[in-house]
Structure 1
Amino acid sequence: MKKTTLLLASTIFFVACNNTPKDGQENQQDTVSTSLSGSNNETSETETVASFDIMNISLTTADIGDFPFINLPEGLEEMNKPMLSKFDVCFFPIDGTMTPFEGRLYKTFVSPVRGEEFSQRYFEKSMEDYLKAIGAVKVFDGEITREEYDRYNKQDPNKGGEGDMGYFDRNIKFWALRSADKGNIYIQYGANNAGGTLNVLQEENFIQTITKVTADEIVKDLNEKGKSILYINFDTDKSNLTSEGTDVVKQIAEALKKESALKISIEGHTDNTGNAAHNKTLSEQRAHAVLQALTKDGIETSRLLATGFGAEKPLVANDSEENKAKNRRVELVKVN
């Protein structure tokens, strides 16, 4: 009888232990179930999060100021120069799945001002109280799995950059906010005992700003500025013009035919990725490819020079993919 009673008690204890929520699960379910407007508290966590829709969040009536809408708490500052982009992508956790949103983006690491100690509780409490006060809703509070990190991390062009977060062993607190005049806003942050991280994205649609290069624009730039900066497409790591690149060269030829006295230097440039000597050679080959295409189109060789500078003369710092793309260019420089 004693053995039977002991066995029964052990079984009950084992079942009770296995039914205990894992760390963070209970908190995450409470966060999602109670945060989304109109959600059913009896619905499972997966069903509730899967139905997440920013439109279910009530519009805030608070004055949230200007982008990035959040000033750091007193005693804290941006650790380095923050990432600030007019249009980019940032991944936020929806039901533990890192989901991309696009728009205006701010990312920064947070540290205490000199001489102060960082308090994780102070940072997180400050953020939570402020976000609640302006009508934001908490969507996620937890960690993603290693499998999820492995799935998405190579899709993030800013991985490893300033203000980066979204690692499998670190807590992420994700909030969403709707404003009548500022649109949809997504905020995520995290911290440990050394410092914090903050990301803010104001959702916006992409606006195409690329227009077709025309001969008239090239002539205008050469006469008014002394040079015209062009982005001519070549095959990857080669000097062969693509069909799009050929179209641009035809516009250069038309410009030179309109201005028969113009003489130009065709200057090739690259970013700083890879071997410097190789980049310089490639830029020279591409400049000469443009020259040869122009001569085939009837432009006299005596009006043309070609040279390559590799990465020696960047337009902007090679500190992001966006800036590197700006540096991969061909410049037409007026020489008379």
Structure 2
Amino acid sequence: MQAWLKVGCTVAFVGVLALSGCKKKHDAAAPASDQAAAPAAASPAPAAASAAAPAAARFDIANVPMSTAELPPFPYIDWPSGLIDGHKFVKSSEFDRIYVIAGSQLLPVEGRYENRHFMNSDAKLSDLAAQRNYEAVIKALGGVKVSTMLPTNPAMLAQNNNDLGDLVVNKLRAAMSPDSYDYYLIRKPEGNVWIGLLVGGGYTQIITVTEGQMKTVVGLVKADDMQKALDEKGHIALYLNFDTDKAAIRQDDQPVIDEIGKLLDKAPTLKLSIDGHTDNVGDEKHNQQLSKKRAEAVAAALIAKGVDKSRVRAEGFGASKPIADNASEEGRGKNRRVELVRVAA
């Protein structure tokens, strides 16, 4: 029985899967449902479909060409047709941090996320057929394979304190034990899409992340509210929208800096420790350093506004002082914070 996968307005056969296009096209090379098929081009074929990311010691996203394909709605690729709901396993989040393999690097990516997997036998596919057909669909959407290293490689493990379990389960989010870890990048002017294709052991897993910023759900804390919290508790948590693995103050966080400046103007004897905190995802030492740099960035922004440098100091605690459970994205979001702490006179 022929399995189908629809991702667009009409259907083009690619072995057992299908992708978006404007005409129907049959693949005569796939006589059986578990037969791996050569990729068939969508119409029109995107320029990036057959490109390959150059091998390099350090991954450079600029070397990956932009896709000209029109992407279907998130998560872009459907389940194989005939796969019943009871055989579909999926986790999703409007915002999360996932790690991908790009070149020989382990990179954190944040944005909208979906992680789905299924047993290949339930879709009447062999492991190879599932892999080949998904490869064809991803490439037809302009995806370029960017991974050049397996997580078991010593160089990759060294980036994660040689902890393979943490790398595979917590960072790469592998559901089982795949034989292949292939990561693709679809570069679009409106944002990057990362797709992980993990196949082996009788199952297929598709991990999709559309890069983007978390929608702010916490209102701006005013200077008076900061003062009240400092008077009552001695500290207050603030949430700034730092870019992934970065410490630069973003323009949309300038209002927060302005309110801290107002707080210090109104209380000329107040001294603050600016404490940076992260969640527990990633290397412990790196998180501590990142949290310190973010705290230092806040302090530097205040000093640039005219605050005396003797009134602010920066500390970084990494993930050592969580205020919520790191097992959920909601909890991790609460732990990624900058705290203002009153310093005793």
Q: Give TM-score, length-normalised by structure 2.
A: 0.44
Q: Give TM-score, length-normalised by structure 1.
A: 0.45
More helix by share: 1
